[in-house]
Structure 1
Amino acid sequence: MSDTRTRLYIVRHGETEWNKTLRYQGHRDIPLSEEGRVQAAQIAKRLSGEKLHAAYASDLSRALETAEAISEYHGLDVARVPELKETNFGLWEGLTYGEIDRQFHSVMKEWYKNPRDTQIPGGESLGEVADRCQAGIDRILSENPGKNVLVVAHGGIIRIIVATVLGMSLNDYWKIKQDNVSLNIVEFFEPERAILCLLNDTAHLGMTNHG
């Protein structure tokens, strides 16, 4: 059997100020912090020796900037994929967990129990996010058969991808940890057959950046 796998190097964006203060970002276009830019340089150096054929990212600046730092080593333009935006948290965006719990206690309780079907006020259910995420990943795979592809997205989106590959319930996706600029590798042999090769690897954050 010939090797027709498409290998996705899936990276979470670097840190933002809202990550530091534990605020829900969602569709808010919050840029990388200074630390986030250092992190982006570290993951870029980590991946500089890989042979990447294409680069894609969510169209939010924190993901785009991270992707551009990586793709610069490979002479690639970053294609924007709006379907890979983070969950639209609606009225929760800009708030901390505690603030959301006080203002939307009953909805938040239901969302943590059944995020797949629970509609966030003014936002999305996780099922809706998963549908658009799958459409974006399907397009990337169809455009890059047998290639190595960079995909930079968000914690929630990456958890959905990993949960789907592993056959997990989306309601358990919070059990998958995703740190800023973590590296995940998934090999797709066909849309219905994929292997998780690496999860939440941040070894590169120990590297000193001289660039």
Structure 2
Amino acid sequence: MGCRLFLVRHGETVWNAQMRFQGHTDVPLSPRGIEQARALAARLQREKFAAFYASDLKRAVETARILAAPHGLAVETLVELRELHFGAWEGLTGEEIRNRYAREVEQWWGDPVSTRVPGGETLLEMLERTSAAVCRIVERFPGQQVVVVSHGGPIRALVARVLGMNLRDYWRLVLYNASLSILEFSSWEKGVLTLFNDCSHLERGAC
């Protein structure tokens, strides 16, 4: 068996509930997000993990620490696992962004791979930094299981890469808060998706 990555999107934040773009803004988990993380921790408590990694943003670190607690392991944070940097769009809802940045939104949807969000980064830049970090993890833990807690954008982009999808279509991959996805790597270039966006540990309507 190669490295098996348990990819977890962080639990819900208040901004998630309000449909606000978070990006690099450091928003903590909401009470609901904490409960979501606890539910996933209960599901994973019988698994054996070699390590826990997380984006250095609070919502990911908090989620990872809840998951790691039953295993007595510390969480290593990596800035490369952060969400896409949404720049001037952070803190705004989709409607507010469309009203204030109509031209930029049109460009973004036309080519998110190379279009830079005002004051932020491109989708390709996010994928390159995330992939580099995950590649190091995969090579470090052959034959072992590792939990990686990140964000919707990086996880979807990484899955799209593994599946050979056009990165422009990554938005078609729906990913809920506190969901679990699993990638297995016999080698870095031979990743296989075995589970995606699983929320069976959450109560109905909690996704």
CA deviations 1:39-72 (Å, max 9, x no partner) are: 0100111111111111100000100000000101
1:1-211 equivalence runs, <5 A: 3=1, 5-206=2-203
Provide the C-alpha distance between the structure 1 equivalents of 2:105 and 2:47, rounded to a whole number of angstroms: 41
TM-score, normalising length: structure 1: 0.95
Return structure 1 stretches of 4+ with deviation > 4 angstroms: none
Equivalent position amino acid for 1:195 in 2: V
SS in 1 for 2:195: strand
CA drift at 1:142: 2.0
Provide the C-alpha distance between the structure 1 equivalents of 2:8 and 2:113, rounded to a whole number of angstroms: 23
CA drift at 1:169: 1.0
Q: Tell me the number of residue pairs that the alignment of Structure 1 and Structure 2 aligns.
A: 204
Alignment RMSD (CA, Å): 0.9
TM-score, normalising length: structure 2: 0.97
Provide the C-alpha distance between the structure 2 equivalents of 1:140 and 1:15, rounded to a whole number of angstroms: 25
Structure 2 unaligned regions, length at least 5: none
SS in 1 for 2:186: strand
CA deviations 1:118-170 (Å, max 9, x no partner) are: 01000000011011011111111122111100000000011011101100011
CA drift at 1:110: 1.4
Structure 1 unaligned regions, length at least 5: none
Q: More displaced, 25-34 or 139-148?
A: 139-148
SS in 2 for 1:190: coil
Equivalent position amino acid for 2:23 in 1: G
Identity %: 49
Q: More displaced, 148-157 or 46-55?
A: 46-55
Provide the C-alpha distance between the structure 1 equivalents of 2:46 and 2:194, rounded to a whole number of angstroms: 18
SS in 2 for 1:22: coil
